[in-house]
Amino acid sequence: MNINQQLSLLRRGVAEIVPESELIAKLETGRPLRVKLGVDPTAREVTLGWAVVLRKLRQFQDCGHEACLIMGDFTAQVGDPTGKSRTRRQLTPDQVRANAEACLSQLFKILDQSKTSVFYNADWLANMTLAEVVNLGAQYTVARLLERDDFARRLAEQKPLYVHEILYPLLQGRDSVEIRADVELGGTDQKFNNLVGRELQREAGQEPQVVLLMPLLVGTDGVDKMSQSLGNYIGINDAPFDMFGKVMSIPDQALRSYFELCTDVSLDQVAVLLAGHPMEAKQRLARELVTLYHSPNAATAAQAEFERVFSQHSAPTEIPDVIVETSPLWIVDLLRQAFGVTGNEARRLIQQGGVEIDGAVVINEKAQVAVSEGGVLRAGKRRFARIIYR
């Protein structure tokens, strides 16, 4: 691709390029650029929210550039404080390792594995001496670190702000120095961290990376950023029927961003779709996503099943079995076992009247339930499980 073709592709959906003039200059050199994306494996599922930056990294690959994927196995143990009003729970090395292993195969549903260099930042961060940590800290002032909105807000509200959280942007920036990144990708919430990388590269005598920022994808609730902890996410490994149904539940006002950030549908065609009936636009979006992460046949089958279940108020033709050990069982534990939801998500479903056992609504989140063998558990509109006892 020539430079204009590359820029046309790479600008799609982008919130900000810092600075774009430097990106153009790097592209004009004609050499493959080293494009960095850091992923802290704090969870096991890759969501469409993660996929926004992963898809941009794939576009760089399609333009002939090298994807440098950093699995933050060290930084995930520290915990990115970005956007947090309180200190994140620190993960153990075993938890991070398990998450990383679960995520990696999903990442290559999007990235071209043959054109991806995978790094683990524990390889350089875990072995730093205290003198090296002190030297890293000497490259950035506390005043500049405290310019971050979330840090300043916590201090103003007299909430704890720990030293390891202040170190996090420096650790992420060190990653850019280690791999000599030309470009770093991130969400708009990562702007501060990414710009720290530019400064540390200058200190190291390197040409600073260009920072390319993508918008944050709103979750299926249409309110908050897509998040596994909030339960408002669509996973790229979701079953076709589940993925189709979740897409159909997103609010109308989110359709444009989903099309632009999550699909390859041309923006001219998106405009035509959005000018029509929202239901038809959602169906197209759902087919696009199921096709992308499964297959065209899976998309056709998922739509047919969705229409049968929700138009005719029927249960799905295929309901997965879930094997449980005992009865009765706390309803929250039953939902965890059946659907892999968090305790908070299970409670929300119950409070919203979204949990049924054989058609009877469960309203008490403390209930001990005895489900008959073969009984059908339903959570929300799309998740079903048949209960089988060991």
Long-range contacts of 143-152 (CB under 8 A, 24+ apart): 145/169, 147/192, 148/192, 150/81, 150/82, 150/83, 150/84, 150/85, 151/81
Query: 232-285, pLDDT tens digit by residue?
Result: 899 999 999 999 999 998 999 999 999 999 999 999 999 999 999 999 999 999
Distance CA(95)–CA(360), nearest Å, equals 37
231, part of any domain = no
Q: What are the Cα distances from residue 246, in Å, to 50, 239, 301? A: 16, 11, 15
Q: Are 185 and 35 in contact (CB under 8 A)?
A: yes
Query: 353 and 253 in one domain?
Result: no
- The answer to the question of residue 227 being in a domain is no
Name the helix (H) or strand (E) containing 174.
helix 163-179
Sign of the Cα torsion 169, 173, 175, 176 reads: positive
Domain residue limits at 263 = 240-311
For residue 178, being part of any structural domain is answered with yes
Assign residue 97 the CATH number of its domain. 3.40.50.620
Which pLDDT belongs to residue 104?
87
Residue ranges with strand state E in the chain: 16-18, 34-39, 66-71, 116-120, 183-187, 210-214, 321-324, 329-330, 355-357, 360-361, 368-369, 376-379, 383-389
Q: 155-187: per-residue pLDDT in tens?
A: 888 888 888 888 999 999 999 999 999 999 999
DSSP 250-267: S-GGGHHHHHHHH----H
Alpha helix stretches (DSSP H) within 263-388: 267-275, 278-293, 296-311, 331-339, 343-351
**Domain membership flag for residue 44:** yes
pLDDT in tens, 280-328: 999 999 999 999 999 999 999 999 988 887 765 566 666 778 787 766 7
Residue 190's pLDDT band (cuts 50, 70, 90): very high
CB of 353 closer than 8 Å to CB of 381: no
| CATH number, residue 262 | 1.10.240.10
In this prediction, residue 299 carries a pLDDT of 96
- 198 vs 63: CA distance, rounded Å: 23
CATH code for the domain in which residue 375 is found: 3.10.290.10
> Residue 83 — very low, low, confident or very high, per pLDDT cuts 50/70/90?
low
Q: Are residues 86 and 16 in the same domain?
A: yes
**Does pTM top 0.85 for this prediction?**
no
Q: Which of 292, 311, 330 is the last residue of a domain?
A: 311
228-233 long-range contacts, Cβ below 8 Å, gap at least 24? 228/43, 228/45, 228/47, 228/342, 229/43, 229/342, 229/344, 230/345, 231/341, 231/342, 231/344, 231/345, 231/348, 233/45, 233/47, 233/48, 233/49
- Whether residue 204 sits in one domain with residue 67: yes
Q: Please say if the pLDDT value at position 23 is more than 70.
A: yes
Residue 208 lies in a domain: yes
Look at residues 354, 374, 375 and name the one whose alpha carbon lies nearest to residue 365. 354
Domain count, the chain: 3
